[in-house]
Structure formats: structure tokens, C-alpha cells
A = this chain, B = another copy of it.
């Protein structure tokens, strides 16, 4: 099936020149007589010849490839981020190699091996092991050994004992602004929904949530802090649990937009109107947040900046330059219709 590979030798022979001359017109790195160039280009074109990138990369010790390890491309947050990152990487002259770890540490390890063998020039890492509050020393060790061989950038994560370059969303500030917004709307009974315990994003947000409540002199009610993960289902469950309580909050901050959607679903199902009876706030500003009725008030992730910065930092590292150890990407509120002034009892 696969046609015999054409090489520069074949082209050289047909053009009656040496392989190096062909190579020269290919790279454009040296002057070749115009007529010769023209003849060679014609033959290249006629034979549909493409230089073998493997051979080239083997020589250069560079593949111009960036590896991405992410948990799940099927999640809006990651797919958007990857899309932006890929586009920017392309501008910087790099192609992207994507690996879906499905949040499975073993798959992460496998993919890291694969990326290393494929000789990618650098790796951008998201999710999984770098999101655990308690770093697993085995995986930390693996990561350190990896980093001895190749530049790595973490997005929204860290590992204790691993001194990596990291680019982070300012989750704390986002939550802070969300709480400020609700408080300004007169709410004093506020819950927090969703998020897996032990995952840094959850803990960061919960911590900021509590701090912000304190700052607003609003008491923290632990029984309004519910949820098991980051899915719509989790939002539904948490909301259902809330509905069983005698004393219910009038507003809930959700760990992300999916959880907010689930919460909205469940509240609506049980006759509560959002935002009239209860305000629901999200996080991430995924594509659907705008459309999901009633339109979710949320915090935008600044996907462009997040992706671009991560790629930029990695490229600096690849080129052997200095790069900031930690970059915080600002977040900002996106006001829509799932939050409303508290209208009293």
C-alpha cells in the first residue's frame, strides 16, 4: 500500500545534482544557482516529494513539537484551552501533540514516556497528579526525572517537591469577586457546590470562598458546602441535598459552570426559580454558560492568555532562556442572569 519513500537522493539523481544541493533548496540556507533551484523544485513538485521530518529532527535534535497532557478533551475548559494554545503554538512554530490521560495516573505516565520517546521539545501539563493536594511522591519523583530531560510547564497545578514553572488562573480572586457580587446583592446565606475533595482547584476555591465570606462578615455554614465532583450530576446531587435542608441558602457559588447547570436544573425541577428564588454562580465561562437558561453569571478563565502564556513560558524554556517561575492569569466576572438582588423573606 504505502508507496516507496522518495528521498533527496532520488531527486538529486533525476536533477543530476548532489543530494546536498537538493537539501540546500529545501532549507534555503545556502545559495544555489537560480536555474538549478528551479529545476530541482520542479522535480520535487512533480514527484510529490516531502522531506522526512524524522531524519531532519534526528539531526537537529529538535522536533518543534509540544506535548500536552490533559485529563479530558471532552470537557469544555480543556478543549477551549487546548484550542487557544495550539493556535498560539503554531504561530510560535510549534505543533501540538495531545494526550488525554482521563485523569488516570498510569495513563499519564505512559503518555509522558511516549512524549519523551517522540522527542517533543517540551511538555505542558494539566490535571491529574498536579492537581492533588497531597502529592504522590512516586509521581513527583517521575516528574522530576522527566524535568531533567525536558522543559515542563504546569497549568493550574503544582507538586510538592517539584520545582516547576507554572501558569495559574487566579481562582481565588474570581471567587472573591463572585462573593462580593452576591453580598452586594444583599445575600447573606451563601452555599458552595461541587468539587472533589483533595483537588487543588476545589480547595483553592473553597478557601477563597470562606475568606471572602469572612471579609463580608457573612457566616460560613459548612452544611451548605456540598458536592462530590465537577459534573452536572454533581451539581444536581448537591442541589438536591440543599433542598432537603430546613434552612437553605439564597445563593450558591459553584465550583464550575457544569455544577451550576446541574444546580439550576435541580432547583428548577423543585419549583425554585433561578435567579428569583435562588442565585446560582458558575466558574469557567464555558461556551454554554451564556446560553444555558437563564444565562449563567460566572468567572471567565481568560483562555487566550492562559494558553498563550503557558506556551510562551515553555518556548522560553525550550530556547534556554529564563522564564518567570509562576504567572498568575487574571480572571474577571461575567455578569448574566443567574444572580439577582435578594428580595428579602
- Chain A interface (Cβ < 8 Å from any Cβ of B): 1-3, 5, 48, 50-58, 61, 63, 72-74, 76, 79-80, 82-83, 86-87, 95-100, 113-114, 116-119, 145, 148-151, 232, 261-262, 265, 268, 287-288, 291-293, 317-318, 320
A50 and chain B: residue at smallest CB distance: B116
Residue of B nearest to A291 (CB): B232
Contact status B86-A100, CB under 8 Å: yes
Taking the nearest CB of chain B, how far is it from the CB of A275, in angstroms? 15
In the bound assembly, the distance between CA atoms of A50 and B114 in angstroms comes to 10
List, sorted by A's number, 23 A–B pairs whose CB atoms are closer than 8 Å.
Answer: A1-B151, A2-B151, A2-B318, A3-B149, A48-B149, A52-B58, A53-B118, A54-B57, A54-B58, A55-B58, A72-B83, A73-B79, A74-B76, A74-B80, A74-B83, A74-B287, A83-B100, A95-B114, A96-B98, A261-B291, A265-B293, A292-B292, A293-B293
Question: A316 — nearest CB in chain B belongs to which residue?
Answer: B1
Chain B's closest residue to A58 (CB) is B54
State the Cβ distance, A94 to closest chain B Cβ, in Å.
Answer: 11
Q: Smallest CB–CB gap between A332 and chain B, Å?
A: 21
CB distance from A267 to the nearest CB of B (A): 11
**Given the complex, which residues of B lie within 8 Å of A291, measured CB to CB?**
232, 261-262, 265
Closest Cβ–Cβ distance, residue A51 to chain B (whole Å): 7
Asked if A148 meets B318 with Cβ closer than 8 Å, knowing A54-B63, A291-B261, A293-B265, the reply is no
Q: With the chains together, A53 CA to B116 CA distance in Å?
A: 8
CA distance A58 to B150 in the complex (A): 22
- Asked, given contacts A79-B74, A119-B52, whether A293 binds B268 with beta carbons under 8 Å apart, the answer is yes
With a cutoff of 8 Å between Cβ atoms, the chain B residues found around residue A261 in the complex are 288, 291
Which chain B residue lies CB-closest to A99? B95
Closest to A98 in B: B98
Contact, CB under 8 Å: B98 / A145: no
A76, A80, A100, A262, most chain B CB atoms within 10 A:
A100
Q: In the complex, how many angstroms separate the beta carbon of A76 from the nearest chain B beta carbon?
A: 7
Closest to A119 in B: B54
Give A82 to B55 CA distance when docked, in angstroms.
Answer: 29
Expressed in whole angstroms, the Cα–Cα distance for A73 and B114 within the complex equals: 22
Across-interface contacts of A50 in B (CB, < 8 A): 113, 116-117, 149
The winner among A50, A53, A56, A148 for most chain B CB atoms within 10 A is A53
A100 partner residues in chain B, CB cutoff 8 A: 83, 86-87
**Among B53, B80, B99, B293, contact of A119 (Cβ-Cβ < 8 Å):** B53
A233 nearest CB neighbor, chain B only: B291
- In the complex, A20 Cα to B86 Cα: how many Å? 39
Q: How far is the CA of A3 from the CA of B147 in the complex (A)?
A: 10
Minimum CB–CB distance for A139 against chain B, Å = 15
Check A52–B117 contact: CB distance below 8 A.
Answer: yes
CB-defined contacts of A57 to chain B, threshold 8 Å: 54
Closest to A320 in B: B1
| 3 A-B pairs with the lowest CB-CB distances in the bound complex, closest first | A53-B117, A1-B320, A54-B58
- Cβ distance A74 to chain B, nearest Cβ, rounded Å: 5
